[in-house]
Chain A
Amino acid sequence: MTAEAPLLDETRLPRLEAWIADKAGADRVTVVDEGRLSGGAISLNLAVTLEIEGGAFAGRHEAVLRTGSASGVSASLGKAEEGMVLRAAFAAGARAPEPLFISDPAAGDDALLGAPFYIMRRALGVAAGRKVVKAEQPQRELAREMGRQLGLIHSIKPGTAGLDFLPMPEPSPGLQCERDYREWMGRFAGTDPVLAYGLRWLTLYAPPAGEVVLCHRDYRTGNYMVDQGRLTAIIDWEFAGWSDPMEDLAWFCAASWRFGQAGREAGGLSDRADFYSGYEETAGRRVDQEAVAYWETAAYLRWAAVAIQQGMRHTSGTEPSIELALTGRMLPEIEQDLLRHLDSLDGRTLFGRTA
Chain B
Amino acid sequence: MINDEPDARGLVSIALQTFRDSVLPAIPAERRFEALMIANALSIAERELAAKPEAALEAQIPQLCSDIDAGTYDAPERQADLRKVLWELTRARLAISNPRLLDPVPPGAA
Interface residues of A (CB under 8 A from B): 189-194, 196-197, 199-201, 204, 322-323, 325-326, 329-333, 335-336, 339-340, 342-343, 346-347, 354-355
Inter-chain CA distance A316–B80, complex, in Å, is: 36
Find out whether the CB atom of A204 lies under 8 angstroms from the CB atom of B34: no
Find out whether the CB atom of B65 lies under 8 angstroms from the CB atom of A325: no
The residue among B37, B44, B93, B107 with the most chain A CB atoms within 10 A of its own CB is B93
* Dominant SS among interface residues on chain A: helix
Inter-chain CA distance A194–B65, complex, in Å, is: 8
Which A residue sits closest to B34, measured CB to CB? A322
Interface residues of B (CB under 8 A from A): 34, 37-38, 40-41, 44, 61-62, 64-66, 68-69, 71, 73-74, 76, 79-80, 82-83, 85-87, 89-91, 93-94, 96-98, 101, 107
| Contact for A193 among B89, B96, B101, CB less than 8 A | B89
Find out whether the CB atom of B41 lies under 8 angstroms from the CB atom of A325: yes
The residue among A194, A323, A335 with the most chain B CB atoms within 10 A of its own CB is A194
In the complex with contacts A325-B41, A326-B37, A326-B41, A339-B79 CB distance below 8 A: no
**Inside 8 A of A190's CB, which chain B residues have their CB?**
62, 65-66, 69
Q: What's the nearest-Cβ distance from chain B to residue A187, in Å?
A: 10
In the complex with contacts A191-B62, A200-B71, A326-B41, A343-B89 CB distance below 8 A: no
Q: What's the nearest-Cβ distance from chain A to residue B31, in Å?
A: 12
In the complex with contacts A322-B34, A333-B94, A193-B76 CB distance below 8 A: no
**Inside 8 A of B90's CB, which chain A residues have their CB?**
194, 332, 335-336, 339
In the complex with contacts A332-B93, A336-B101, A342-B83 CB distance below 8 A: yes
Inter-chain CA distance A199–B70, complex, in Å, is: 12
Find out whether the CB atom of A329 lies under 8 angstroms from the CB atom of B94: no
**Inside 8 A of A201's CB, which chain B residues have their CB?**
79
Which B residue sits closest to A188, measured CB to CB? B65
Find out whether the CB atom of A329 lies under 8 angstroms from the CB atom of B61: no
**Inside 8 A of A332's CB, which chain B residues have their CB?**
90, 93-94, 96-98
In the complex with contacts A322-B34, A326-B37, A339-B68 CB distance below 8 A: no
Find out whether the CB atom of B76 lies under 8 angstroms from the CB atom of A354: yes
* Dominant SS among interface residues on chain B: helix
Q: What's the nearest-Cβ distance from chain B to residue A105, in Å?
A: 35
**Inside 8 A of B87's CB, which chain A residues have their CB?**
339
Q: What's the nearest-Cβ distance from chain B to residue A352, in Å?
A: 13
Find out whether the CB atom of A192 lies under 8 angstroms from the CB atom of B65: yes
**Inside 8 A of A342's CB, which chain B residues have their CB?**
79, 83
Count of inter-chain pairs, beta carbons less than 8 A: 87
Find out whether the CB atom of B37 lies under 8 angstroms from the CB atom of A322: yes
Find out whether the CB atom of B74 lies under 8 angstroms from the CB atom of A193: no
| Contact for B107 among A196, A325, A330, A340, CB less than 8 A | A340
**Inside 8 A of B101's CB, which chain A residues have their CB?**
333, 336
**Inside 8 A of A347's CB, which chain B residues have their CB?**
76
Find out whether the CB atom of A355 lies under 8 angstroms from the CB atom of B79: yes
Find out whether the CB atom of B37 lies under 8 angstroms from the CB atom of A330: no
Q: What's the nearest-Cβ distance from chain A to residue B57, in Å?
A: 11
Which A residue sits closest to B82, measured CB to CB? A197
Inter-chain CA distance A331–B97, complex, in Å, is: 9
Find out whether the CB atom of B65 lies under 8 angstroms from the CB atom of A322: no
The residue among B40, B62, B90, B101 with the most chain A CB atoms within 10 A of its own CB is B90
Find out whether the CB atom of B41 lies under 8 angstroms from the CB atom of A193: no
**Inside 8 A of A331's CB, which chain B residues have their CB?**
93, 97
Inter-chain CA distance A200–B74, complex, in Å, is: 8
| Contact for B65 among A193, A335, A340, A355, CB less than 8 A | A193
Inter-chain CA distance A329–B101, complex, in Å, is: 13
Find out whether the CB atom of B97 lies under 8 angstroms from the CB atom of A193: no
Find out whether the CB atom of A196 lies under 8 angstroms from the CB atom of B65: yes
Inter-chain CA distance A336–B97, complex, in Å, is: 12
List, sorted by A's number, 8 A–B pairs whose CB atoms are closer than 8 Å: A194-B86, A194-B90, A196-B65, A197-B82, A200-B74, A333-B94, A335-B93, A336-B90
Find out whether the CB atom of B37 lies under 8 angstroms from the CB atom of A193: no
Inter-chain CA distance A94–B74, complex, in Å, is: 41
Find out whether the CB atom of B68 lies under 8 angstroms from the CB atom of A196: yes
Inter-chain CA distance A242–B35, complex, in Å, is: 40
**Inside 8 A of B44's CB, which chain A residues have their CB?**
326, 329
Other contacts beyond A190-B66, A336-B101: 5, CB < 8 A:
A191-B62, A197-B68, A322-B41, A332-B96, A339-B107
